[in-house]
Amino acid sequence: MKTIGILTKPKFPDVGHILKDLVAWLRERGMEVAFDAKTASLIGEQSTAKKTQIASTSDMVLVLGGDGTILSAARLVEEHSVPILGVNMGGLGFLTEVTLDQLYPSLERVFAGEFTLEDRLMLRAQIHRHGEHVAQATVLNDVVVNKGTLARMIEVQIAIDGRFVTSLRGDGLIVSTPTGSTAYSLSAGGPIVAPSVQTLILTPISPHTLTHRPLLIPSNAGLEVTLISKDEGAMTTFDGQVGVAITQGDTIAVSASKHATRLIRFPDRTYYDVLRMKLKWGDG
């Protein structure tokens, strides 16, 4: 690896000092460092590069932040399959692989080739309105159709591979990847699914009919969610970070992306170790 792209959460305390030391450490080892203008300004440097350019010029992307920053990075590097190493600037995350005190030993292991790459399923979503595309996005966690700020329920129609499955009344629907199964879907009663399982998870949000339960469908299935109700205020959100207002008749088409997020992993910590620590399994 010759060029290391760096993405940060600029508002994190002391990120400038951490970044300055990291850049010096990488350059001492002959590495080129790529970052956007905002990140460069944190250490008094200048850059004309955009975040999208970092993905196309880097051999690896180093993310300093949390799981939310990883989600942004995953969308950024989607078409380039650039490996991502997540460094959690706070506590342990589901997606970030190492903590700040493990940063430099972990980089040494990466440069020595002592790591594995874990491919994570991503979803591609498009919003159709009157036969036209009005928005699209790729997500690592989930696509959520919900009632927004409305106090009343919305109704959506769900079709899989072009065939009607059900109409759902409630607060909305979460369509998540296995990676996203430990995010919003989990809090709504969805199952925890290991990231190696290739599936889409449909989790109703507070359904009016209790027989509507979470549903797993094959990752190669085509899903369409159409807003039937005409109440204003309904939203579609992508990874909880980007929101698009939707209206009656809008259809959200969701399918597996042909690209995967590639996360750098080390063999001494498994996905199940992370679950046990984050969910406090076995405590007390």
Catalytic residue numbers? Answer: 67
- What do you get for the CA distance between the two ends of the chain, in Å? 44
Residue 56 tokens, joined: 């196309």
Q: At what angle do helices 15-28 and 103-111 cross, to 10 degrees?
A: 30
Q: For tokens 């970044």, what's the residue? A: 19
Please classify residue 102 by burial: count the beta carbons closer than 10 Å to its beta carbon, then call 0-12 exposed, 13-18 middle and 19+ buried: middle
Q: How does 187-206 read in b/e, with b if 16+ C-beta sit within 10 Å?
A: ebebeebebeeebbbbbbbe
Environment class of residue 236 by beta-carbon count within 10 Å: exposed (0-12), middle (13-18) or buried (19+)? buried
Strands 242-245 and 235-238: antiparallel
Beta strands in 46-111 (DSSP E): 60-65, 84-88, 98-99
| Four-residue CA torsion sign, 273, 271, 172, 246 | positive
Phi, then psi, of 283 in degrees rounded to 5: -75, 135
- For residues 222 and 183, is the Cβ–Cβ distance under 8 A? no
